[in-house]
Structure 1
Amino acid sequence: MINSHAAYRALTSRDPRFDGIFFVGVASTGVYCRPICPVKTPLQKNCRFFESAFAAEKASFRPCLRCRPELAPGHAPIDNSNRVAHLITRRIDEGLIDEGAGLEEIATEFGISSRQLRRIVQKELGVSPIELMQTRRLLLAKQLLTETKLPVTEIAFASGFSSLRRFNDAFGRQYRMPPTHLRNRAAEHHEMIDAGRTSTLRLSYRPPYDWQEILKFLDARMIRDVEFVTADSYARTVRLGKRTGWIRVTHAPEKGGLVVEFTRTLVPVLPALLGRLRNLFDLTARPDLIAAHLMKDKLLKKSVTKNPGLRVPGAFDGFEMAIRAILGQQITVKAATTIAGRFAEAFGEKIRTPFPELTRLSPLAARIAKASVRDIAKLGIVGTRAASILAFARAFQAGSLKLDTGTNPEADIAALTALPGIGQWTAHYIAMRVSRWPDAFPKEDVAVRNSLGRVSTKQAEEISQAWRPWRSYAVMHLWKNSPNPSRGNQSASSRAPQVQRAPQPVQMPAALLRGCGQRRLATPGPAQSETTCRVQSSYTERLWRG
Structure 2
Amino acid sequence: MTRTDVSPIRLSDDDCYLALTAHDARFDGRFFTAVTSTGIYCRPVCRVKTPRRENCRFFQHAAQAENAGFRPCLRCRPELAPHSVVWSIQDASYILAHQAARLLDETEVWTDEAPSVEKLAARLGVSDRHVRRIFEAQFGVSPLQYLQTRRLHTAKQLLADTTLPITQIALISGFASVRRFNAAFVAHYKLNPTALRRQGTAVVRPASQGITIRLGYRPPYDVQAMLGFFRKRAINAIEFIASDAQQPGTGRTFRIETGGKVHSGWLLAGFDEARTQLVLQVGDSLREVLPLLIRRVRAAFDLDADPAAINSVLHRHFPAGDGLRVPGALDGYELAVRAVLGQQITVAAARTLAQRLVDQFGEPITTPWPQLTRLFPAPAVLAAAGGDALGQLGIVRQRQAAIVGIAQAVLDKRLQLHSGADVPATLALLKTLPGIGDWTAQYIAMRALRWPDAFPAGDVALHKALGVQALKNPARQATLASSAWAPWRSYAVIRAWSGTLGAPEEPPVAP
Residue 273 of structure 1 aligns with an amino acid whose one-letter code is L
Q: Does 1:238 align with 2:296?
A: no
Q: Does 1:430 align with 2:444?
A: yes
Query: 2: CA distance between counterparts of 1:326 and 1:320?
Result: 10
Q: Which runs of 5+ in 1 are unaligned?
A: 24-32, 38-71, 73-81, 484-506, 511-546
In the TM superposition, what are the counterparts of 1:84-483 in structure 2 within 5 Å?
85-91=100-106, 94=107, 96-97=109-110, 99-103=111-115, 107=119, 110=122, 125=135, 133-161=147-175, 164-187=178-201, 192-197=202-207, 198-231=210-243, 232-241=248-257, 242-297=262-317, 300-301=318-319, 303-304=320-321, 308-455=322-469, 456=471, 457=474, 458-481=476-499
CA contact (8 A) 2:8 2:309 kept: no
Query: 1: CA distance between counterparts of 2:353 and 2:328?
Result: 21
Equivalent residue number for residue 42 of structure 2: none
1:250-278 Cα offsets, whole Å, 9 max, x none, are 00112211000011221211110000011
CA drift of 1:133 comes to: 4.9
Query: 2: CA distance between counterparts of 1:112 and 1:95?
Result: 16
Residue 363 of structure 1 aligns with an amino acid whose one-letter code is P
SS, match of residue 159 in structure 2: helix
Query: 2: CA distance between counterparts of 1:411 and 1:394?
Result: 17
1:392-447 Cα offsets, whole Å, 9 max, x none, are 22233333333332545344333322322212211111111112122222222222
1:496-529 Cα offsets, whole Å, 9 max, x none, are xxxxxxxxxxx9849xxxxxxxxxxxxxxxxxxx
CA contact (8 A) 1:327 1:340 kept: yes
Query: 1: CA distance between counterparts of 2:277 and 2:253?
Result: 21
SS, match of residue 139 in structure 1: helix
Residue 206 of structure 2 aligns with an amino acid whose one-letter code is G
CA drift of 1:156 comes to: 3.5
1:218-244 Cα offsets, whole Å, 9 max, x none, are 111123222221221111112222222
CA drift of 1:186 comes to: 3.1
CA drift of 1:320 comes to: 0.5
Cα 1:10–1:117 shift into 2, 3 Å:
closer
Aligned residues: 415
Query: 2: CA distance between counterparts of 1:228 and 1:218?
Result: 9
CA drift of 1:205 comes to: 0.8
Q: Which runs of 5+ in 2 are unaligned?
A: 11-29, 31-83, 506-511
CA contact (8 A) 1:84 1:120 kept: no
Query: 1: CA distance between counterparts of 2:104 and 2:145?
Result: 11
Residue 498 of structure 2 aligns with an amino acid whose one-letter code is K
Equivalent residue number for residue 57 of structure 2: none
Cα 1:417–1:88 shift into 2, 3 Å:
closer
SS, match of residue 238 in structure 1: strand
Query: 2: CA distance between counterparts of 1:167 and 1:208?
Result: 37
- TM-score, length basis structure 2: 0.72
Query: 1: CA distance between counterparts of 2:168 and 2:424?
Result: 42
Cα 1:6–1:153 shift into 2, 3 Å:
same
Query: 2: CA distance between counterparts of 1:225 and 1:117?
Result: 48
SS, match of residue 36 in structure 1: helix
- TM-score, length basis structure 1: 0.67
Query: 1: CA distance between counterparts of 2:8 and 2:312?
Result: 15
CA drift of 1:369 comes to: 1.9
Cα 1:174–1:17 shift into 2, 3 Å:
closer
Cα 1:142–1:194 shift into 2, 3 Å:
same
Q: Which moved more, 1:403-412 or 1:339-348?
A: 403-412
Query: 1: CA distance between counterparts of 2:85 and 2:278?
Result: 25
CA contact (8 A) 2:237 2:374 kept: yes
SS, match of residue 202 in structure 1: strand
Query: 2: CA distance between counterparts of 1:163 and 1:417?
Result: 42
SS, match of residue 203 in structure 1: strand
Larger radius of gyration: 1
Cα 1:239–1:117 shift into 2, 3 Å:
farther
Query: 2: CA distance between counterparts of 1:223 and 1:343?
Result: 10
Query: 2: CA distance between counterparts of 1:390 and 1:213?
Result: 32
